[in-house]
Homo-oligomer: A and B are copies of this chain.
Amino acid sequence: MNRLGIALVGVTLGLTAQASAQDVKEDFKSMSTNQYGQEYPMVNSQGIVRGRILAPGAHEVFLQINGINYPMTKDEQGYWMGQSAPLDEGNHYYGLVIDGANVPDPASRFLYGSGAECTQIEIPAHDDYKYALRDVPHGQIRELYFHSDVTGGLRHVFVYTPPQYDANYTTRYPVLYLQHGYTENETGWSRQGRCGFIMDNLIADGKSLPFIIVMENGEISHRADNAGFGTLMNNANTLFPKILIEDVIPYIDSHFRTVPDAAHRALAGLSMGGMQTRSISLNFPGVFSQIGIFSGGVISAQDIEQHPEFKKDNKLVFISYGSREVENPRGQAPNETVSDLKAQGLNAVYYESPLTAHEWQTWRRSLYEFAPLLFRK
């Protein structure tokens, strides 16, 4: 899996696959990600997805999941049906190809990912209690717009406040700044990532301290200007740290009841957001004291040598990957790098999500493991 975090390159490849009909368990249920009242798409206990679309005049229709095309066949009423191979647990990109047109399945719900609002499906997971919507006290997801001096325009930011935030007006909270990946935006962590539900559950179960989470757009431009890859990367590497440190943190510290110091400020991100976390924490010492890098590289022993202030300030380095991402590491395996950091005296933690790849299930689980470690020292 490449480190630039191009998670979904398969979407553009349009590979075609045959799903085997043998041994398919007929225990299909409507998916949790369906639009209200829609029977299809369905999923069975093996993670096989079965989709349906009415397209009486069509000649060739595919179910497309994570860039793989699964053939569909038409019945007498004009409904096309098709099914996938077994899929990993968690969130997957999903759509239809109708006579060559790539379109969303109108029966499925929409989220922003892979560079666009698109349909996504959710394969039930053995550990979906971590991010389930439970009848416990809930925090709020707040949508903000505010002026940025750096860009001269408005920033669009989502903020999670914990359940008791409005219960009294004296308690102050630490803050986690939490970043999405390449081709995603500021909506990703609260929607696909379900970070609000993860935090509500952890807090209700006494596993995490309550804290504020701030989610910015690390691609800056919203891809609105059709910026090329170079511009995007320059924005992500150069402009984003400036916006974060000069605009976002001061705004949050003056509009929320934060503890406005590095000891109570963490930074984490997935994929490109993890790379941004690494770069910002090394190059801007004294802003954040605890960091998480999910599927986005590592802090190495050499990094520590080159940035001595990092070690002085840092209280937590959390590194995670999906197990399918690190089966064949190109260089040092990330768990070995983390061992090196520990040997240097850092509070370094490695987590590996079982049987998942460069995808949201890895990152939901990463947050679930990371949050309980935060703001303990």
In the complex, residue of chain B having the shortest beta-carbon distance to the beta carbon of A34: B224
Contact between chains at A144 and B138 (CB < 8 Å): yes
Stretch at the interface among A94-102, A206-214, A299-307: A94-102
- The docked-state distance in angstroms from the alpha carbon of A53 to that of B115 is 18
A109, B117: Cβ atoms under 8 Å?
A: yes
Within A103-149, which residues are at the interface with B (CB < 8 Å)?
Answer: 103-106, 109-110, 115-118, 133, 135, 138, 140-147
Chain B residues with CB below 8 A from A256, complex form = 166
Interface residues of A in 16-35 (CB under 8 A from B): 35
Q: Is A57 a contact partner of B59 (Cβ separation < 8 A)?
A: yes
Q: Which residues of B contact A140 (CB under 8 A)?
A: 142-144
Which positions 40-77 of chain A face chain B at CB distance < 8 Å? 53-61
Q: By the criterion CB–CB under 8 Å, are B145 and A56 in contact?
A: no
* Most chain B CB neighbours (cut-off 10 Å) among A95, A99, A105, A166: A99
CB distance from A160 to the nearest CB of B (A): 10
- Are the CB atoms of A110 and B101 closer together than 8 Å? no
Q: A16 CB to closest chain B CB, in angstroms?
A: 14
Within the complex, the shortest CB–CB distance from A253 to chain B, in Å, comes to 12
Contact A57 B60 (CB under 8 A): yes
| Minimal Cβ-Cβ distance residue in B for A138 | B145
Q: Which of A36, A105, A109 has the most CB of B within 10 A?
A: A36
Contact partner of A101 (CB less than 8 A), chosen from B58, B222, B223, is B58
A55-B106 contact given A140-B144, A141-B142, A142-B142, CB 8 Å threshold: no
Which chain B positions have C-beta within 8 A of A154?
Answer: 133, 135, 138
Task: Note all chain B residues with C-beta closer than 8 A to A110.
Answer: 110, 117
**Which A190-221 residues sit within 8 Å CB-CB of chain B?**
196
Is the beta-carbon distance between A103 and B98 smaller than 8 angstroms?
yes
Complex interface: chain B residues within 8 A of A223 (CB): 36-37
Contact B55 A99 (CB under 8 A): yes
Asked if A229 lies at the interface with its beta carbon under 8 angstroms from chain B, I say no
User: Assuming A138-B146, A140-B142, is B116 touching A106 (CB within 8 A)?
Assistant: yes
Q: Report how far A117 CA is from B104 CA in the complex, Å.
A: 11
Docked CA distance A196–B145 (Å): 11
A117 and B35 contacting across the interface, CB-CB below 8 Å: yes
CA distance A169 to B95 in the complex (A): 47
Q: Mark A221-235, 1 if CB is under 8 A from B, else 0.
A: 011111000000000
Those of A137-183 within 8 Å (CB) of chain B: 138, 140-147, 153-154, 166, 169
Q: Is A377 an interface residue (CB 8 A)?
A: no
Q: Name which residue of chain B comes closest to A141, CB basis.
A: B143
Whether the Cβ atoms of A103 and B104 lie closer than 8 Å is yes
Contact call A53/B101, Cβ cutoff below 8 A: yes
Q: How far is the CB of A318 from chain B (nearest CB, A)?
A: 27
The smallest beta-carbon distance between A163 and chain B, in angstroms, is 10
7 contacts between A and B (CB under 8 A): A53-B103, A54-B100, A55-B100, A55-B101, A57-B99, A58-B101, A133-B145
Which residues does A use to contact B, with CB under 8 Å?
A: 35-37, 53-61, 78, 95-96, 98-106, 109-110, 115-118, 133, 135, 138, 140-147, 153-154, 166, 169, 196, 222-226, 255-256
Q: Which 4 pairs show the lowest CB-CB distances between chains A and B? A: A55-B101, A57-B99, A58-B99, A169-B169
